[in-house]
Structure 1
Amino acid sequence: MSSHGVNSVARMVITAVVLVIFAGYLLLWIMTPTNTFRQIWLMDLRTQTTSTFFGTTHGATYLVFTFPILFIATLGCVYLHLGKKTRENNHTEGSRAEICKLGLWRRPVIVKGLGIVSRIELAFFLMFIALLLWNFATYLRLNFRTITPIAAAKSGQKVWEAKLDSAGLRLGLTGNIALSFLFFPVTRGSSVLPLFGLTSEASVKHHIWLGHIVMTLFTAHGLCYIIFWAATHELSEMLKWENTGVSHVAGELSLLAGLALWATTLPRIRRKIFELFFYTHHLYILFVFFYVVHVGISYTSIMLPGFFLFMIDRYLRFLQSRRGVRLMSARILPCETVELNFSKSIGLSYTSTSIIFLNLPTISKLQWHPFTITSSSSLESDKLSVMIKGEGKWSKKLYQILSSGSPPVDRLDVSVEGPYGPASTDFLRHDLLVMVSGGSGVTPFISIIRELIHTSQTLKLKTPKILLIAAFKSSADLTMLDLILPISGAPSMFSDLGIQVEAYVTREKQPTIQQRKGVRAVWFKPNPSDAPITPILGQNNWLWLGAIISSSFIIYLILIGIVTRFYIYPVDLNSNKIFSSSSRAALHILFVCVGIIMASTVAFLLNKTRNSQETSQIQNMEGATPIASTNSLYYSADRELESLPQQSLSQSINVHYGERPDLKRFLLESRESSVGVLVSGPKKLRHEAAKICSSRLAANLQFESISFSW
């Protein structure tokens, strides 16, 4: 059997194991509120896992709730590594048939409050809501049985007060389920999401849904207790910080941090005052810290896996962002848009529609902004490009810096995080790709077109026909289409790709400027301290990530086990003294961070040397920067824009003024057996395309929204 066959079998085995483990994990959530789990399963498990290293309860929760997900994450790393080794660009009819079988479930549905979701997404969302309702209802049903007038009288409470107390507690327990999944969607370099065909960028909406659910349940949890304490004349309970058990003050501080964070996630605030949204989102640190202190480390083990993986990803991003990257050049368009071209290592590969986060200290030392990559790592092996439209304060400031030219900008300090994107793309399964964009939404399609250029010209594989429908506000925005071809190295056989561009200028009746007038480029002087963008964990990044996940968790277990056995356990043996729950929680948080920092730093340093060697080779190959003169960093791009590939592109563009595209006609008149409909742009445009693709007349249309406007 070939290595490809062995890898395919191994991936199938990993998939089966992951599905079995995940099904068991979900079964635990279903059984958690029942007496069978609490009085039989959990008690037996605690009896068998009790030790002086992890206490009477911690070992059981680690084994049941923490270990399975971290094991899945590690297996996911192996799965993705094998997929990276055997990834092929050609696709069989069998894969297309499999997609068609799932076509009904992949159809878009527009749900008020949720936006555009596929039917399978909607089904899973409803099942998740059913899980929450099941847990809450089961908790209440079993507990309310024990609340009788006699039992309530013995505790000095009324029946409704006792039930309110119980309901408040159960709301908190149910909220913990949603919290356990909250951090998975925002783990950018996740090895779990790709196992289920998801990416962090596309899953941000799931994080938003979960965030609303978490804060709704936790807010209701807090209000129930405030009302209960007020009714029983025990408002002083709000100021208690118990040495053992639940700390009320810590819970209140956690809730306050969460409410402040939640308030700034309103769409109007998030879009108009992004800086406020960005900065207050860091309150998640206080939210999680006081949450751990509030519920104790044993119960924290339930939500620990998602947060553990998020913290690993966050620290790796921190390490990557510490070094400046080499910005080689920029193309400046008259529509307040720039294309930045970075130097990258040949070993850094990424898929179409990937994104990268940029930080420019000149504009803001704290702000990070995501941008879609327009280049193809296959077509441009040593360059990485992004397009930035001046639509906010940050991006407009960047355009002003580059376009003013007085004084000329010879370099910019830039830091990056990423790239992040899907593990693989499968655009070749379609006969026709219809790409619908609005404004700067054309950005992800540029990377797809460049990748298909490579597939057609270098790999000599059949590619689908391309229909790009681009809507712009003004004729100046048409210059964005110039970025379809890279600044250098455009293939001479571009015309063979089979691309047609229908461009619509909606706010003008006729052209007001020459389409290509004013496009220019600026080259930057290299700085020895800047480095090409490299994969932070090298080319075998998934294997390294798997090693970090497993080793950091082992380090954490070893450290906390030693401290528990030789420090906490002797204190607990003393009948006159019990080790503080808050101190125990703080120690666990500390050792989680220590384990992550140790494992991640070692992996980073081991790969840094290899990356430095490759960087030296790139510097030797780059040579002199092609600038017009020593005094002027600008040169005219007219000669480049008149090249043969650019002429072929110009001949493929039809421009329509004063009208909007008739999407219904374009989509429903497509007779190909498989049509991929990719949409990126304003909400109204995406909803219009989704509505058409969801109709019964569109059986051959496969809809996918790749817009990153949340």
Structure 2
Amino acid sequence: MIWIMMPTNVFWLHWLSDIHAKTDSSYFGQQGANILIYSFPVLLVAALGCLYLQLEKYIDRSKDETPKESRFASWRRPALVNGPLGIVSRIELSFLVMFLALLVWSFSAYIHSMFKNITRQSTVNMGEFVWEAKLESAALLLGLVGNISLAFLFFPVTRGSSILRVLGLSSESTIKYHIWLGHIVMILFASHGLCYIIFWAYTNQTSENNVTDLSTHFGSMKMWAWNKFGVSNVAGEVALLSGFVIWMTSFPRIRRKFFELFYYTHHLYAVFVAFFVLHAGFSYSCISLPGFYIFLIDRYLRFLQSQQRIHLVSTRVLPCQAVELNFSKDPGLRYDPGSIMFINAKSISKIQWHPFTVTSNCNIDPDKISIVIKSEGNWSRNLYKRLASSTPMDRLEVSMEGPYGPPSTSYLRHDELVMISGGSGITPFISIIRELIFIANTTNCKTPRILLIPAFKKTEDLAMLEFLLPISGTSYDISLLQLQIHAYVTREKGPSPDSQKLNRSIWFKPSTLDRPLSAVLGPNTWLWLSVIIASTFVLFLFLIGILTQYYIYPIDHNTNIIYPYYAKSMIYMSFLCVSMVIIATLAFFWNKKQNSKELRQIQNADAPTPTVSPRPELRSSNVDRELEGLPHYSFSRVTTVHHGQRPNLKNILMERKESNVGVLVSGPKKMSQEVAKICSSRAAKHMHYKSFSFDW
């Protein structure tokens, strides 16, 4: 509402003046108004969102007959499939149109207000032409509108965001929003800078008797100005240059071919934001800082979590060059099916972090968390070679971030689930199937029928179906799940000899330095995150209040013409970072200490009880086992393999006669587009599309 009203005279002449009259003080100065109306509401929503999510943990959603996903089911249907924006739902398209309308409204309203005051007489007095004055105004307004886009830029990449979670989103599903916003931000800021460069060039020419060497003007005039008061041009140019580097390396061809370059240049976001604040001033940056501030808290907590070494318990190595890593975890750590984790193995690369889908289920495996890695890149190939060697390593040092999951989705509301995957895309469905096995065995809820359609290139890839059950098997009756598997082998017309190769199970030796994976802020993560957001903001206000009252105010008395803008901005940014580090560090180590106490109590309580492997054949540290082992055999009766063909997805989906069909797809971009196109047709109104694809 504030952003809609900002370009109007009502806001500038009435609202803002009234707000300043009530908020300007010797403690916060004139920036108190901007902190109140721009920063505080966003942080309040984030903190209240954390409290809501903490309370929601105690609500049993399994009995909710009208979950919130179903209320907007028609709006979640794909609206655009084959386009530059990718697969876009109706609700996404609606919000995109509204956001673009906000930008157009803001720019046009500002332009209208400023252009009507630009006359020939006013420009003559300034020594400018009318077009030059209008160009300068347009350049300024492009920066103002760009700041609105910048305010949203960091929300989609905040993995532990309460705002995304309350809206039913996750950082993985909103990466495309970050990409859209990034393009909009850089187009607006690049236009902002280009217009000013043109303006400076022409005004310098006309003011110095048609001097033609523009480079002398650029070297001596406004382009290199670092103003003590007001806007600093050099800081803006540094921010724009760093933004350009990020932007140029983010285009798909460069990002996919030179991912390392893309990854490391993206860390220039810190330079971009810091110099943007120095350019525009801390007070005006209060519009865009809340999103970055929440992202910064999340990023620092991820850094703290990543410093711990996680105990790798065991691994399964399959001949199709896929491995399952099973890690020890705190029994109190809960996560939803389809969650992802970021892992780092220092023996392979000290700096590379890679995301993988969690395949385990916290109900079936309360003390373990698992991921599956298919050998498809240099990092994963090196990992597979080390684990599959004839002399496997005794242990693997691993650090982790996460898990980060999508909002809990009630798959029980569907009559049937159709899961379509390509290659390693089957991994998100493993955790969902395990969750439904648990529900079918422990509750009276009716589980939907499941049709799993995995497509593999080779017959040996069928071994990926081994991962549908844990390495130690399960005591739950899997026959209670109505599951049918139609697996397709696209590049072979029959079974190959390689499909009879043995897989290997390896159990690793524990280390005293390894710890089970736990939530970064303990079992009450959302509550603690709310405390961190609120406490950091209060501490920041306290620090700048003391500084302003006893140092800055005695110098400039809220005039903003004596104490330098850039110095004030640097101090305030430092206070913001210091506040965040102090509060987040205290919260993290407090919870780490509490988790250690609880873990010791659990270990002491379990000590007298002898523990054995639930399956005798897995007690040794290195076990070869045929693919016809227990997990695969358990599903063999419901598995049909089709060699030498691809699944006819249109026929398969159109044969579904149930009134409520959930269609889940995880695989290549073309597969996702094909399924989305089918689900968006009029004949598929009973189908509800959801993608787990991360090929952005």
Deviations 1:524-568 (CA, angstroms, capped at 9, x unpaired): 110011000011211111111101100000000000110111111
Deviation at 1:617, TM superposition (A): 4.8
Q: Which residue of 2 aligns with 1:546?
A: 530
- Distance in 2 between residues matched to 1:422 and 1:574, nearest whole Å: 46
- Measure the CA separation in 2 of the matches of 1:366 and 1:515: 35
- Say if 2:418 is the partner of 1:444: no
C-alpha distance in structure 2 between counterparts of 1:267 and 1:574, whole Å = 48
Q: Does residue 683 of structure 1 match 2:669?
A: yes
- Any idea what the Cα deviations from partners look like across 1:497-549, whole Å, max 9, x if unmatched? 01111111111111113645321111111001100001121111111110110
1:460 CA displacement: 4.0
Counterpart Cα distance in 1 of 2:560 and 2:257? 57
Task: Report which stretch shifted further, 505-514 or 562-571.
Answer: 505-514
Contact 1:571 1:577 in 2 (8 A): no
CA drift at 1:613: 2.0
Amino acid at match of 2:533: I
CA distance in structure 1 between the aligned counterparts of 2:661 and 2:378, rounded to whole angstroms: 38
Alignment partner, residue 102 of structure 1? 72
- How far residue 305 of structure 1 moved from its aligned partner, in angstroms, is 1.1
Cα shift readout 1:657-705 (whole Å, capped 9, x = no counterpart): 1111011111111011100000111000000000000000011100011
Match of 1:21 in 2: none
The one-letter code matched in structure 2 to 1:102 is F
Q: Find the partner of 2:598 among 610, 614, 636.
A: 614
Please show how residues 225-244 of structure 1 align to structure 2 within 5 Å.
225-233=196-204, 234-235=217-218, 236-244=221-229
Q: Is residue 251 of structure 1 aligned with residue 265 of structure 2?
A: no
**CA drift at 1:475:** 1.1
Please tell me the residue identity of whatever aligns with 1:209: W
2:61 aligned with 1:61: no
Q: Secondary structure at the match of 2:158?
A: coil
Superposed displacement of residue 423, structure 1 = 3.1
The 3-state SS of whatever aligns with 1:232 is helix
Supply the distance in 2 between the matched residues of 1:550 and 1:510 (Cα, whole angstroms).
62
**Displacement of 1:625:** 9.1
Shift of 1:220: 0.6
How far apart in 2 are the matches of 1:247 and 1:350?
46
* 1:535 correspondence with 2:519: yes
Which residue in the other structure is 1:71 paired with?
44
* Partner-residue secondary structure (3-state), 1:560: helix
Provide closer, same or farther for how the CA distance between residues 453 and 574 of structure 1 changes in structure 2, counting only shifts above 3 A. Answer: closer
**Structure 1 residue 605: Cα displacement:** 1.6
Matched, 1:39 2:13: yes
Cα displacement (A) at 1:338: 0.8
Q: Deviations over 1:394-435 (max 9, x none)?
A: 1111111111233x2001111111110123111000010000
Query: Is the Cα contact below 8 Å between 2:465 and 2:632 reproduced in 1?
Result: no
Paired residues of 2:51 and 2:527 also in contact (CA < 8 A) = yes
Does the alignment pair 1:355 with 2:337? Answer: no
Residue in structure 2 matched with residue 456 of structure 1 by the alignment = 440
Do 2:61 and 2:410's aligned partners in 1 also have CA atoms closer than 8 Å? no
Report what 1:297 is aligned to: 282
Tell me which amino acid in the other structure corresponds to 1:649: F
Instruction: Provide the rounded CA distance (Å) in 1 between the counterparts of 2:597 and 2:501.
Output: 42
- Residue equivalent to 2:153: 182
- The one-letter amino acid paired with 1:47 is A
Q: What's the secondary structure of 1:521's corresponding residue?
A: strand
| Higher alpha-carbon deviation: 155-164 or 245-254 | 155-164
Tell me by how many angstroms 1:614 deviates.
Answer: 3.1
CA distance in structure 2 between the partners assigned to 1:582 and 1:164 by the alignment: 26
| Pairs within 5 Å for 1:318-357 | 318-357=303-342
Among candidates 60, 63, 73, match of residue 87 of structure 1 = 60
Whole-angstrom CA distance in 2 between matches of 1:707 and 1:642: 30
- SS of the residue corresponding to residue 365 of structure 1 reads coil
Mapped partners of 2:643, 2:179: distance in 1: 38
Code of the aligned partner of 2:430: I
Q: Is the 1:532–1:615 contact (alpha carbons within 8 Å) kept by the matching residues of 2?
A: no
Match of 2:622 in 1: 634
- Describe how 1:124-273 pairs up with structure 2 within 5 A: 124-233=95-204, 234-235=217-218, 236-273=221-258
Matches within 5 A, 1:355-394: 355-394=340-379
User: Aligned-pair distance for 1:610?
Assistant: 1.5
CA deviations over 1:283-336 (Å, ceiling 9, x no partner): 000000000000001111111111111111011111111110101011111122
Q: Which residue of 1 aligns with 2:267?
A: 282
Residue in structure 1 matched with residue 3 of structure 2 by the alignment: 29
CA deviations over 1:51-107 (Å, ceiling 9, x no partner): 011112x11111111111111111101110111111332332x44xx7555332111
Deviation at residue 635 of structure 1 after TM alignment: 0.9
For these two proteins, the number of residue pairs brought into alignment is 677
User: What does residue 590 of structure 1 align with?
Assistant: 574
**SS of 1:463 mapped into structure 2:** coil
Which letter does structure 2 place at the counterpart of 1:82? L
Paired with 2:612 and 2:539, the residues of 1 have a C-alpha distance of 47
Distance 2:157 2:508 in 1: 34
Conserved 8 A contact 1:410-1:633: no
Paired with 1:492 and 1:75, the residues of 2 have a C-alpha distance of 39
The reply on whether 1:116 has 2:87 as its aligned counterpart is yes
Following superposition, which runs of at least 4 residues in structure 1 exceed 4 angstroms of deviation? Answer: 98-101, 573-577, 617-629
> In structure 2, what residue type is equivalent to 1:182?
L
Question: 1:658 corresponds to which residue?
Answer: 644
1:603 is aligned to 587
Q: Which residue of 1 aligns with 2:207?
A: none
Give deviations 1:263-300, integer Å, cap 9, x for gaps: 11111111121111111100000000000000001111
Deviation at residue 111 of structure 1 after TM alignment: 5.2
Percent identity of paired positions between Structure 1 and Structure 2:
53
Match of 2:459 in 1: 475
What do the CA deviations read for 1:209-246 (whole angstroms, capped 9, x no partner)? 11111011001111111111111125321111111110
1:519 aligned residue (499, 503, 506):
503
Quote how far apart the aligned CAs of 1:174 are.
Answer: 0.3
* Residue type of the alignment partner of 1:569: Y
Distance in 2 between residues matched to 1:59 and 1:389, nearest whole Å? 53
When residues 454 and 641 of structure 1 are mapped into structure 2, their CA distance, relative to the original with a 3 A threshold, is farther
- Residue-by-residue CA offset, 1:125-171 (whole Å, 9 max, x unaligned): 01101110110111111111111111111111111111111101000
- How many Å separate the matches in 2 of 1:397 and 1:529? 24
- For the aligned residue pairs, the C-alpha RMSD in angstroms reads 2.1
User: Which residue is equivalent to 1:13?
Assistant: none
| Residue type at the aligned position of 1:113 | P
In structure 2, distance between residues paired with 1:588 and 1:55: 13
Q: Distance in 2 between matches of 1:289 and 1:161?
A: 30
TM-score, normalised with respect to structure 1: 0.92
Deviations 1:345-388 (A, max 9, x none): 11000000000110111122111111100000111100000011
Q: 2 CA distance for matches of 1:364 and 1:571?
A: 52
* Structure 2 SS opposite 1:376: coil
SS at match of 2:58: helix
Are the counterparts in 1 of residues 26 and 558 from structure 2 also a CA contact under 8 Å? no
Structure 2 contact 315–506 (Cα < 8 Å) conserved: yes
Which residue identity does 1:695 align to in structure 2?
S
Return 606-615 or 676-685, whichever deviates more.
606-615
CA distance in 1, matches of 2:557, 2:137: 32
Query: 1:297 and 1:111 mapped to 2: Cα distance?
Result: 42
Corresponding letter in the other structure for 2:658: E
- Structure 2 counterpart of 1:418: 402
Matches of 1:394 and 1:293 in 2, distance apart?
39
TM-score by length of 2: 0.94
Unpaired segments of 5 or more residues in structure 2? 205-216
Closer/same/farther in 2, CA of residues 575 and 148 from structure 1, 3 Å limit: closer
For structure 1, the 5+ residue unaligned runs are: 1-26
The 8 Å contact of residues 469 and 502 in structure 1, kept in 2 or not, is answered as yes
- Cα distance in structure 2, aligned partners of 1:280 and 1:405: 39
Aligned residue number for residue 7 of structure 1: none
